[in-house]
């Protein structure tokens, strides 16, 4: 077990910046997930920690000891690569046992350890096979097992379950997290899958173009996103983001204009206080999660006089446990249709084309600066 600290790390490839003055602190025993799109720099972070890449700038510490110039073999980390390469002339059992043999373990101890990990990964029946007889998913599980038989100070896992089917991925998420809790080994886990990140991490670092956008728990990044990128990246369906401007301000409420044609009144005191600092007509983005919106019936006679926003149902997606409803709010300044997604109950029965009243939970509203993308706190 160990803590890790990455300080001012910079790395580029052929003039293209992969990591841009990156700083991270990972606590001893933490399951820390690095989440980002392909090409964000996630794997490069792991390779720098393992010593497989040398940063052009910055320092890496393990247990407060500088390890930036140590060889990979002396860093006491186990790397689970996205592309698992097994020794083709060895059986699955021998592949998994290989990291333990130079460490002087007895054959009985090696066998016990290999079988334990194989059972956890559902590959005990594969132990006698050779790599050429394995599927892609089986190969990935064996590669994961070969790393997990060790007891290093730090595990580095690069999308280790991405090749598995959905059901097995869900099982493996729980198994990997359970085992990490039992051993207490500090683990850095890289993924582009937000479900993996949210369900497994003690904390998440969200990466964009080699730069850390936010670090926090799953709850923190979901309910307190630092900027538009984080807000839009986290959540399925994604957060609704609507261009708006402050059109009127009073002591106890604020009027905002959505898409320049929908007027909406905000009475939540904390939100009014936040927006009171903003200039009138400054460009903002309103954010709200699909589950924080409710829909109500409206009568034909009420449509012209109602104070709430109304919209037409554009599409409805029944998903069994819930229904996702798409509402057509109108068009943006660029002429693009703006769709509002709402998470509703599975028995939602309103028809496409029907008008509904939209109720926002104002305690759950977010506002972002449309120019900088930063959250307004």
Size (the chain), residues:
377
Let me know: does 87 contact 38? Beta carbons within 8 Å: no
- Report residue 226 as tokens: 């630092």
Nearest to residue 361, comparing CAs of 261, 240, 252?
240
Q: Cα separation of 120 and 122, whole Å?
A: 6
What confidence score (pLDDT) does residue 151 get?
83
For helices 136-148 and 166-183, the axis angle rounded to 10 degrees is 0
The reported pTM is 0.88
Q: Cα separation of 361 and 207, whole Å?
A: 29
Which ranges constitute the DSSP H helices of the chain? 42-50, 92-97, 107-120, 136-148, 166-183, 194-200, 218-223, 228-233, 269-275
Supply the DSSP string of 67-110, one letter for each residue: -TTS-GGGS-EEEE-SS----TTS-HHHHHHGGGGGGT--HHHH
Q: Distance from CA of residue 262 to its chain's centroid?
A: 33
Q: Tally Cβ neighbours within 10 Å of residue 29.
A: 16
Output the tens digit of pLDDT for each of the chain's 377 residues.
799 999 999 999 998 999 999 999 999 999 999 999 999 999 999 999 999 999 999 999 999 999 998 999 899 999 888 777 889 999 999 999 998 988 778 999 999 999 999 998 889 999 999 999 998 778 878 988 898 898 889 999 999 888 778 888 888 888 889 889 988 999 999 999 999 999 999 999 999 999 999 999 999 999 999 999 999 999 999 999 999 998 888 878 888 989 888 889 999 998 888 888 887 778 999 999 999 999 998 765 444 444 578 999 999 999 999 999 999 998 887 788 899 999 999 999 999 999 999 999 999 999 999 999 999 97
What confidence score (pLDDT) does residue 248 get?
84
What confidence score (pLDDT) does residue 332 get?
81
What confidence score (pLDDT) does residue 307 get?
52
> Between the CA atoms of 355, 360, 361 and 367, what dihedral angle is there, to the nearest 10 degrees?
160
Query: What Rg value do the Cα atoms of the chain yield, rounded?
Result: 25
Residue 374 DSSP one-character state: B
What confidence score (pLDDT) does residue 13 get?
94
Q: Which residue has the tokens 């301000």?
A: 249
For helices 136-148 and 107-120, the axis angle rounded to 10 degrees is 130
Backbone angles phi, psi at 62, to 5 degrees: -125, 120
In terms of C-beta density within 10 A (0-12 exposed, 13-18 middle, 19 or more buried), how is residue 277 classed? exposed
The domains of the chain, with CATH numbers, are: 4-233 (3.40.50.300), 240-369 (2.40.50.140)
């Amino acid at each position: 077990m160990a803590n890790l600290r990455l300080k001012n790390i910079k790395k580029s490839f052929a003039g293209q910046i992969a990591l841009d003055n990156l700083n991270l602190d990972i606590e001893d025993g933490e399951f820390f997930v690095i989440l980002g799109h392909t090409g964000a720099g996630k794997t490069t972070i792991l390779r720098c920690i393992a010593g497989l890449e040398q940063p052009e700038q910055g320092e890496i510490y393990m247990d407060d000891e500088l390890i930036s110039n140590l060889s990979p073999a002396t860093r006491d980390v186990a790397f689970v690569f996205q592309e698992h390469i097994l020794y083709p002339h060895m059986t699955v059992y021998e592949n998994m046992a290989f990291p333990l043999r130079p460490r002087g373990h007895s054959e009985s101890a090696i066998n016990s350890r290999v079988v334990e990990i194989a059972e956890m990964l559902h590959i005990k029946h594969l132990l006698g096979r050779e790599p050429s007889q394995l599927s892609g998913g089986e190969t990935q599980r064996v590669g994961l097992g070969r790393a997990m038989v060790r007891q290093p100070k730090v595990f580095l896992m690069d999308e280790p379950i991405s090749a598995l089917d959905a059901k097995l991925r869900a099982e493996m998420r729980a198994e990997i997290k359970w085992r990490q809790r039992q051993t207490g080994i500090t683990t850095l886990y890289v993924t582009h899958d937000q479900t993996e990140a949210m369900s497994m991490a003690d904390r998440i670092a969200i990466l964009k173009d080699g730069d850390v956008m936010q670090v926090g728990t799953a709850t923190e990044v979901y309910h307190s996103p630092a900027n538009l990128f984080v807000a839009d990246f986290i959540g399925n369906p994604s957060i609704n983001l609507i261009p708006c401007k402050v059109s009127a301000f009073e002591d106890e409420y604020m009027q905002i204009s959505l898409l320049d044609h929908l007027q909406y009144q905000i009475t939540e005191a904390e939100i009014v206080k936040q927006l009171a600092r903003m200039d009138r007509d400054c460009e903002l983005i309103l954010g709200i999660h699909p589950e924080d919106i409710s829909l109500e019936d409206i009568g034909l006679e009420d449509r012209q006089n109602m104070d709430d926003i109304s919209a037409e149902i554009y599409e409805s997606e029944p998903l069994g446990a819930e229904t996702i409803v798409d509402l057509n709010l109108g068009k943006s300044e660029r002429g693009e249709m703006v769709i509002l997604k709402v998470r509703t109950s599975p028995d939602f029965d309103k028809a496409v084309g029907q008008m509904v009243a939209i109720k926002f939970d104002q305690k759950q509203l977010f506002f972002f600066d449309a120019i900088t993308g930063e959250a307004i706190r």
